[in-house]
A and B are shown apart, each in its own frame.
Chain A
């Protein structure tokens, strides 16, 4: 598997701060992977993605995007490969219409007008928002706004999408639409997805999950392995999956040791219920 992002011994502290926000991180992220980054508020999740996108410069260590080590010269090329969708959809709109907004990133890249129109239409079609292209972004629902924000990111045809808590402001329906869309795009467009999230259900869909704590990677594992940790989860600012919490209250009737997924739990319970 090719590494689309390769991080080696990266240290970073914010200007004026004494503590390292990123305290020695090495991490390889494979192409087409869906990686969840979890951890408490303040553990370094957003800082790490800002370093990847070159919005902050590391104090030492190196970050390579698609095989090229980022520095002052190469970062501009690297950045074209990365799209970030932020938490609050209201903070990322600049255009007066949906299509202007999606075109913004392309204008920045100096794309010719005709080609731009085509790219915008294609990106809006991918998120199924083509019927809204003349609308004012502010008149859309939260889920629709995030889909437009994602279209803006897709228009620049990135290889990596970073979702920085992009579903946390959405209602349950909006959240579902966005997650389904990302999964679909990942398989069709061969995208690598990095998702910062507190949402357990969202992490359960990912291939790999890393836990950050005080600027360090303290776990690098799969969702099923992570949710086996039970009591330790709280230290990482995570909650236990719903199924674990249910099973915990039923230990006198079912067999429950570590992580139990929904299907496993339902099967066990239904079997017990048919025996009586």
Chain B
């Protein structure tokens, strides 16, 4: 499902004069089946942008096309269910959204809310608890007896159970230990291989380099750059303006460059970096 923003402006109705515009004339396309990362400083508009995709927020002006569906300032809150079924959203600290007395009921809530019969929702819960790496013995537990990392997985299973075509992730791994973080990121990459469109908001540039096909950089409520991670991380102007930080491999390459190495383009992953280093040392 292709997602297109056309001149979207969003102004927060707020008494606080410091807030003002959440999005300022944003146009962009998020391609179907791709893994797209959105980066930018806190407050740059990333969360505001993605909340328009399932109409949690509506534009003040402009329009958003999600597949066939058009969202404008006129869009009313009726009939949003088909859209929200297709666009699943995992918020920051999704474990705070758990509320049922068993893990199974929590996972079933989403699909049932979208009209899936109980029997099918139960099956979906069975399947998804495995997908997130917990196993069916967790289904009858109370979500509140689980650790933070496990609760996070249950919340993600709940979103996947509705089988959305597009999955939006707003810093899904904040606060997870590194091993848990990698497992969760691999899980989303796997979902992409199964045909889903993944949109990831993150501060972790290594995750962008390792997982994303495309990236967008936001600054002051606007998209200031987009393209492949390799191209964007090599855009010197963005770095000079401090709109973007680099993955560790690129930072390391810069340090080698300050000595006696030379990189035509900064490598962004460890394998790119070490391949380049070997070539230069072997002199070919």
How many of B's residues come within 8 Å of A, CB to CB? Answer: 45
A170 at the binding interface (Cβ < 8 Å): yes
Q: If the complex has contacts A250-B278, A269-B256, are A168 and B42 also in contact, measured as CB distance less than 8 A?
A: no
**Beta-carbon nearest neighbor of B258 in chain A:** A266
Does A87 have its Cβ within 8 Å of any Cβ on chain B? yes
Interface string of A63-105 (1 = CB under 8 A from B): 0000000000000000000000001100000000000000000
Cα–Cα distance between A272 and B261 once the two chains are bound (Å): 11
B:219-255 near A, CB below 8 Å:
242, 245, 248-249, 252, 255
- A87 and B179 contact, CB distance less than 8 A: no
Which of B178, B181, B203, B281 meets A276, CB within 8 Å? B281
- A246 and B273 contacting across the interface, CB-CB below 8 Å: yes
Instruction: Please state if B42 and A270 are interface contacts (CB–CB under 8 Å).
Output: no
- Which of B42, B177, B280 is A41 in contact with, Cβ under 8 Å? B177
Contact flags (1/0) for A181-205 with B, using CB distance below 8 Å?
0000000000000000010100000
- 17 pairs, A vs B, C-beta closer than 8 Å: A41-B177, A42-B150, A138-B16, A170-B42, A171-B245, A172-B205, A200-B178, A237-B178, A238-B178, A242-B270, A246-B273, A250-B274, A250-B278, A262-B255, A273-B259, A273-B280, A274-B260
Q: Which residues of A contact B (CB under 8 A)?
A: 17, 39-42, 87-88, 135-136, 138-139, 141-143, 165, 168-174, 198, 200, 234, 237-239, 242, 245-246, 249-250, 252-253, 262, 266, 269-270, 272-274, 276
Q: Which B residues are closer than 8 A to A by beta carbons?
A: 16, 18-19, 41-43, 92-93, 145, 147-150, 171, 174-182, 203, 205, 242, 245, 248-249, 252, 255-256, 259-261, 270-271, 273-274, 277-278, 280-283
A sample of 8 more A-B contacts (CB under 8 A), given A41-B175, A246-B274, is: A40-B149, A41-B149, A41-B176, A165-B175, A169-B92, A249-B271, A273-B261, A276-B281
